[in-house]
């Protein structure tokens, strides 16, 4: 799953550690999300989208398997 977290975060001048604190996760978790090494739980995906004032679909790019 791809996402636009890094682009949105940078456009808004939010540091990884700021987003991590707001989400209740480590900075390493945010880094792993941004680099595609970690897929978030639905709860974390919802929290991130809500924090940015966006929908999950606007932040996370879901791809169907086999495509």
Domains and CATH numbers, the chain: 2-61 (1.10.260.40)
How many Å apart are CA 10 and CA 13, to the nearest integer?
A: 5
Helix, strand, coil shares, percent, the chain, to 5: 55, 5, 35
Q: For residue 67, name the pLDDT band (cuts at 50, 70, 90).
A: low
The per-residue pLDDT for 1 is 75
Q: How many CA atoms lie within 13 A of 37 on its CB side?
A: 6
- For the stretch 9-64, pLDDT in tens is 999 999 999 999 999 999 999 999 999 999 999 999 999 999 999 999 999 987 76
Tokens describing residue 31: 């880094």
**pLDDT in the model for residue 6:** 97
Return the closest-CA partner of residue 8 out of 24, 20, 23, 19: 19
């Amino acid at each position: 799953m791809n996402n636009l977290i890094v682009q949105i975060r940078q456009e808004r001048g939010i540091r990884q550690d700021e987003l991590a604190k707001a989400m209740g996760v480590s900075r390493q978790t945010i880094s792993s999300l941004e680099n595609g090494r970690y897929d978030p739980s639905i709860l974390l995906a919802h929290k991130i989208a809500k924090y940015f004032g966006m929908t999950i679909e606007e932040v996370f790019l879901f791809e169907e398997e086999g495509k």
